[in-house]
A and B are shown apart, each in its own frame.
Chain A
């Protein structure tokens, strides 16, 4: 069976894009106090799977971020610092 007949993990999908990931994160979300975060929604709806739930703890990594802005609008604004990557970094699309 070809790998194409099974669902890809999000990492395998993201790996198909062109990336120039900044060494500094462009999104910061404090994870020590997770009160008020829509944890399940972030984990399921971030198209890049940047948010992962382990038990009821959320972990975040900015590397595969596709800069859609979803987490910015469903997280209280004092709980997230959200900017676009600078210097043309981040994802580059060709066929979308």
Chain B
């Protein structure tokens, strides 16, 4: 009767929890190697719960999908990088014209769906609308997952649950997220139109712009604003260091809500000329890792178990670049390679899966995280988010807003510093420590 298909499987070789970039990369690689893979996703369709800044670094993704440039839903290749300091109505902007574009913009929901489609084409089975409640451990071995009253068995479970590590916490492999090590982001997507974006930002077809903003847009809280151009929309958002933001809010220093800050950025006189009165077509928020190695779990593997992507704490925010999706994809790929090799040498035992950690540690992901590990201290220090933008804008004000006589640069520096009540000695010490750390 009817088109009754395959019998319901009672077990899988691998169950991957979460159809984001890390989970999809792992599923794709494993399915391609002939493993029976189940990819579980809590949203309605893959990608439906995805939210990020707006930009992906391409090369690590090409290592998994060599046809990325031709087939993936790439909106624009980033050819212009901008960085702005804001203070009141004054803005200092630095623009860099990229020689060779290494990153592209896209909607992550769209991109994740593309990745999930690659995985299912390779033979992985995707089941959405399902929340996993527990990773099931028996005698020290991970044996499957539980959702509600349902248990499903697998030889290996790959945890790609994302930044909210509910499953890892239950397993005892991670503490509850430390507010000092995460940031909260909120963003809007504005429908501007492809032609208007190109005209107003001096971009040609398929060229994109990435723009980070620091200064009073975050009202003294460490963090910043971001602007990315998509095909015919622009993403505008704010990221705040959670620990510092909570402190500022509780002490009464912070008065504006995060969505209020996003709206202020949208309506900022300097920035709004880019999008005019474009309509907001979507709004959302997401937690993100602040960077460094601070959120890597106690263990990245167990007998029958691996952790990848945001859940593994793999994200780098240097203040001028943010890398999450490419790290996630790389970790998914390394996890898949580890599983394939483990089955060749006797199975997914703890020892065989420990190779994942060494693979990760010898990859560019880990080298980047180690290299920039000092950055998280800077990124959580309010000093750099108030004093620097204040001084810089004040300095340029002295230089450019003179009616008759311009000061010399040195005079301008000292005048600006005394006006903003900034100690030059402290500033130099702080800057020296930045150089020391990075």
Q: Do A and B come from one complex?
A: yes
Q: For chain A residues 1-41, which have a beta carbon within 8 Å of chain B?
A: 2, 4-8, 10, 13-14, 16-17, 20, 38, 40-41
Q: Is the CB of B188 within 8 A of A13?
A: yes
Which 7 pairs show the lowest CB-CB distances between chains A and B?
Answer: A47-B285, A88-B44, A88-B129, A13-B283, A47-B186, A7-B263, A96-B51
CA distance A86 to B128 in the complex (A): 10
Against A, the Cβ 8 Å flags (1 = close, 0 = not) of B44-74 are 1101111110000000000000000000000
CA distance A34 to B324 in the complex (A): 36
Against B, the Cβ 8 Å flags (1 = close, 0 = not) of A60-96 are 0000001111101110010000011111111111111
Asked if A45 CB lies within 8 Å of chain B CBs, one says: yes
| Interface positions of B (Cβ within 8 A of A) | 42-45, 47-52, 107-110, 128-129, 131, 163-164, 166, 176-179, 182, 184-189, 230, 233, 235, 240, 242, 245-246, 249-250, 252, 254-260, 263-264, 266-267, 277-287
Given contacts A44-B249, A93-B49, are A70 and B184 in contact (CB under 8 A)?
A: yes
**Can you list 8 pairs linking A and B with CB atoms under 8 Å apart?**
A5-B267, A10-B257, A38-B246, A44-B245, A73-B177, A73-B242, A88-B129, A93-B50
Q: Is the CB of B43 within 8 A of A96?
A: no
| Interface positions of A (Cβ within 8 A of B) | 2, 4-8, 10, 13-14, 16-17, 20, 38, 40-41, 43-49, 66-70, 72-74, 77, 83-96
| B142–chain A nearest beta-carbon distance, Å | 21
| B190–chain A nearest beta-carbon distance, Å | 9
Beyond known contacts A85-B131, A91-B49: 20 more, CB 8 A cutoff: A4-B280, A20-B44, A41-B246, A44-B257, A45-B246, A45-B249, A45-B258, A47-B286, A66-B284, A66-B286, A72-B164, A73-B178, A74-B179, A84-B131, A92-B43, A95-B189, A95-B282, A96-B187, A96-B189, A96-B284
Given contacts A13-B280, A95-B281, are A44 and B254 in contact (CB under 8 A)?
A: yes
| B75–chain A nearest beta-carbon distance, Å | 10
Name A86's closest neighbour in chain B (CB-CB).
B131
Tell me whether chain B's interface is mostly helix, strand or loop, or mixed: mixed
Q: Is the CB of A69 within 8 A of B164?
A: yes
Most A-side CB within 10 Å, residue of B47, B230, B250, B256: B250
Most B-side CB within 10 Å, residue of A2, A7, A43, A47: A47
Name A7's closest neighbour in chain B (CB-CB).
B263
